Structure 1
């Protein structure tokens, strides 16, 4: 992997693979984006670096890194969208205070703190496991019939 000088700031390119985004959206959401140009949806995305373009010392080309959306959840309710918008604003305020609006850096250490009120009303991991267990029991009972 090439080493960057402290002055180098790689350009970030988004990989064209958007399967994680599409999979997290309902049919109606996708249709709405198509039918209503300018429609905004809020999402939490996970980006993973997949490739980079290094540069030779005598080359006058900026370094680039390609990232892919490897995880995504799109807000499915107005409350979820509002919470994500609030989190986005809180993170932006943090970058303003930190003076990092134009810098690449670690960013806020606890961006999820802005979402605590909403995440409390969502199912826990244990509740999800219990739900899946009950679904499986129902499927088995139906299969036996």
Structure 2
């Protein structure tokens, strides 16, 4: 990897591979995005750097890194979307305080507060494992019949 000087700030480009996004959108969400331009869905994504374009000494080309969405979960209810929007606004306020934005938005002071409220009603890891065990047992029972 090339070393960047403290003054260099790479441009970030989004890679075109969108499989994680497509996989997490429901059929209705996909149709809504297509049929109603301007539709917004809220999602939690993980970005992973996949490639970079370095810059040679003395060349007048800005450094660039390409990122890919490697994990994605999309809000499937109004409650989930509101929690993600609240978290986004809270993080946005943090960037404003850090001096990267000019205006302050609305929302909770802690982004995790809204998410904790919503995640209380979601299954835990143990509940998911138990569900998968029940599904597997049902498959075995049906196979035996």
Deviation at 1:113, TM superposition (A): 4.6
Name the residue aligned to 1:23.
23
Deviation at 1:132, TM superposition (A): 0.4
Cα distance in structure 2, aligned partners of 1:135 and 1:17 = 32
Name the residue aligned to 2:129.
129
SS in 1 for 2:16: coil
Are the equivalent residues in 2 in contact too, given 1:90–1:114 (CA < 8 A)? Answer: no
Name the residue aligned to 1:94.
94
Name the residue aligned to 2:141.
141
Query: Which ranges in structure 1 are unaligned for 5 or more consecutive residues?
Result: 103-109
RMSD: 1.4
Are the equivalent residues in 1 in contact too, given 2:83–2:114 (CA < 8 A)? Answer: yes
Are the equivalent residues in 2 in contact too, given 1:41–1:75 (CA < 8 A)? Answer: yes
Residue 24 to residue 5, structure 1, CA distance change in 2 (3 Å): same
Are the equivalent residues in 2 in contact too, given 1:42–1:84 (CA < 8 A)? Answer: yes
- Indicate whether 1:35 and 2:28 are aligned: no
The number of aligned residues is: 138
4+ long deviations beyond 2 Å: 110-114
Output the TM-score relative to the length of structure 1.
Answer: 0.91
Cα distance in structure 1, aligned partners of 2:78 and 2:98 = 30
